[in-house]
Chain A
C-alpha cells in the first residue's frame, strides 16, 4: 500500500496549496514542509527496498497483467529520492526569487503537480499508465513555463508545448502498435511474453517509435533543438527544476525499456544508441562553447550530459549502467545547482549575459564558491562526484572494448571544463564592465538553498563509495530484468 504514497502525497499537497493560493506566506512554508516530508518518505522507501528487494503494488487488487501495477526497484527509488531532493531545494529557493504575482498564481501547486507526474513515471509498471504520468508532468510544466506570460516566455512555451505534444503522439502511436502485436501493456508481462517469441518478430517499429518519443523528451541528438530554445525563458528557479527532473525522466524510461524490451537485435540497438550518445555529447558541448548567455550555456550542457547517461545505456554492462545511474544522480544535483547559482548571479548583477557581467568573485566570494563546486563537478574534477561518474562510465567503456565512445567521453569532459572556465572567467574573474552594478541584494533563502545543494554535491563526492555500491545493485536489477519480471508477476 505504501507504494502509492509518492503519487498521493504530492496530489494532496497540490490540492491544499490550490485552495490556499492567495496566502503567500502559508504557501511558502507549506511548500518547504511538504517537500521535506516527500523527501523523508522517499528515503524511507529507498532503505526499505535496499533491505527487502523490489516493492510491488497491484492497484485495486487487480492481479498483473490485468490491473495497473506499481513497481519500485532500486533505480526507481534512487530517482525518487533525487527528484524529491531537487524539489525541496527549489521550494526553499523559490520564495526569494520568484516574484509575488507568479507565487500566488499557482506556482506552488504546479510544482507539486510536476513532482506527482515525475514520481508516477518512476514507479508505474504499465506502459499506458506511464504515458498518463508523462502527460501529468508535461501539463504542469507547460503551465509553469508559461506562468507570467511575458512575450519571451510565450515564445518559448509555444515551441515547448508543440514539440512535447508531437513526442507524446509518437509515444501513444507506439503504444497502439505494440498493443496490437502483444495484447498486453503491463511491462513485466510484456517482457516475459517477448522472451518466448521467436526471433525476428516485428517489434522494432514500435520500439523505434518509443525511442524517438523518449529521445525528444530527453533531448538527444537530433531532437534537442527545443530545449535551448525554451528553457531559458521562465524564471531560473523553474528552469532549474526542469533541468533537474524532466529530461532525466526520459533517460530513466529508456533504461527501463531497454532492459525489458530489447530482446532482439541487441547489436543494432547497441551501435545505434552509442552513436547517438557520442553525437549528443559532442554537439551539445560544442554548441555550449559558442554561447554567451549563462542559461543557454547551461542548457546546452544538459544535452551534452544526457549523452553520458545514454552512453552507459549503450554499453549495458553492470559497471556501465552503474556509472550512468551515478552520473544521472550527480547530474540532477549539479545541474540544478549551476542554474540556481546563475540565479544568484542574476540577483547580484541583474543579467545573464556574460558580456555584461564581471567582478563577482571580488563582490561576493560565497557566490563564486557556490558556482565553482557544481561547475567543477560537471567538468569531472576529483574529488567531486562528476569525476566518479565519468570514471565508472569510462572504465565500463574500456572493459566493454568500446574505445571510440570512451574517447569521445574524455574529449567532451575537456570541452565541458572549457565552458565552465569561460563562465568563471567572464562572470566572476574579469573586471566589472563599465556601467554594470554588482551591488544587487541576494535573498537569504536562495543563498541557503544553493548552499545546501552545493554541500550535498560535495558530500556525494566524499561518500562516493557507498553511493556507488547502491548504484551497482540497481544496475544489476536493470541488466538482469528477471528479478523485476518475477516480482511483478509473482512467479
Chain B
C-alpha cells in the first residue's frame, strides 16, 4: 500500500509540473490542483500508515502503542481547505483575465505590449 501511494504521489507531482509548464492558463490551474493533492497525499504517507486501528498520539507506549496517529489527517484537512480557497481565487482571477484580454495564452502575460 505504501509503495503504491508513493508511486501515486510521484505521478501526481509529475502531472502537476507538466500542467504548470503548459501555455494554456486554465491548465495552469489544473497543475496547481494536482500539486495540492500530491502534497496532501505526501503528508498522509509520510505521517505513517496504520490501518484498522483506533487513533491516538504516536510514540506513546503501553495501551496506546500501535494506534493510528490522527494528526496528519488533521493537517491534510486544513491544507485541503486552504487549497480550495486559493484554487477558487485563482479560477476567478484567470476567468477575469480571460474576460479582460480575450486570451488564455501564457505568452500574453509578457509585458512588452
User: Could you list which residues of chain A lie within 8 angstroms of chain B, going by C-beta atoms?
Assistant: 128, 132, 135, 139, 142-143, 146, 149-152, 154-155, 157-159, 161-162, 165-166, 168-169, 172-173, 175-177, 179-180, 183, 185, 229
Contact = CB atoms under 8 A, between A and B. Distances in A.
Given A176-B75, A179-B46, A155 B111 contact: yes
Interface in B59-81: 59, 69, 71-72, 75, 78-79
9 nearest CB pairs, A to B: A176-B43, A180-B46, A154-B97, A176-B46, A135-B82, A151-B100, A173-B39, A177-B46, A169-B35
A143 B48 CA distance: 37
Interface in B74-107: 75, 78-79, 82, 85-86, 89-90, 93-94, 96-97, 100-101
B86 to A, nearest CB: 6
A132 B32 contact: no
B93 A154 contact: yes
Contacts of A183: 58-59, 69
A177 B85 CA distance: 24
Given A165-B35, A183-B59, 18 more contacts: A132-B78, A139-B89, A151-B97, A154-B100, A158-B28, A158-B90, A158-B93, A161-B93, A162-B20, A162-B90, A168-B82, A175-B75, A176-B43, A176-B46, A177-B42, A179-B43, A179-B71, A179-B72
B14 interface: no
Interface string B36-65: 100100111011100000000011000000
15 contacts: A142-B86, A142-B93, A149-B100, A151-B97, A154-B97, A159-B109, A161-B89, A169-B35, A176-B42, A176-B43, A176-B46, A176-B47, A177-B42, A180-B46, A183-B58
Contact of B25 (A132, A158, A185): A158
Given A139-B85, A165-B35, A146 B109 contact: no
Contacts of B79: 172
Contact of B35 (A143, A157, A166): A166
Nearest to B75: A128
A146 B58 CA distance: 43
Given A132-B82, A151-B100, A176-B75, A157 B93 contact: yes
Contacts of A173: 39, 42-43
Given A128-B78, A165-B90, A183-B59, A175 B43 contact: yes
A172 B35 CA distance: 11
A179 B46 CA distance: 8
Contacts of B36: 169
Contacts of B111: 152, 155, 229
Contacts of B94: 158
Contacts of B69: 183
B33 to A, nearest CB: 10
Contact of B47 (A139, A157, A158, A179): A179
Contacts of A132: 78, 82
Interface of B: 20, 25, 28, 32, 35-36, 39, 42-44, 46-48, 58-59, 69, 71-72, 75, 78-79, 82, 85-86, 89-90, 93-94, 96-97, 100-101, 108-109, 111
Main secondary structure of the interface of B (DSSP, over half): helix
B75 A155 contact: no
A416 to B, nearest CB: 25
Nearest to B89: A142
Nearest to A66: B57
Given A154-B97, A165-B32, A143 B75 contact: no
Contacts of B75: 128, 172, 175-176, 179
Contacts of B48: 180
B94 to A, nearest CB: 7
Contacts of B39: 169, 172-173, 176
A67 B45 CA distance: 23
Nearest to A154: B97
B52 to A, nearest CB: 20
A142 B46 CA distance: 30
Contacts of B42: 173, 176-177
A151 B35 contact: no
A71 B78 CA distance: 22
Contacts of B93: 142, 146, 154, 157-158, 161
Contacts of B58: 183
B107 to A, nearest CB: 11
A176 B72 contact: yes
Contacts of A159: 109
Contact of A180 (B25, B47, B89): B47
Nearest to A170: B39
Contacts of B20: 162, 166
A157 B93 CA distance: 8
A163 B43 CA distance: 21
A223 to B, nearest CB: 15
A389 to B, nearest CB: 33
Contacts of A165: 32, 35, 86, 90
A92 B60 CA distance: 54
A132 B86 CA distance: 13
A84 B34 CA distance: 37
B103 to A, nearest CB: 11
A154 B95 CA distance: 10
A285 to B, nearest CB: 22
Given A128-B75, A149-B100, A173-B42, A162 B89 contact: no
Contacts of A169: 35-36, 39
Nearest to B94: A158
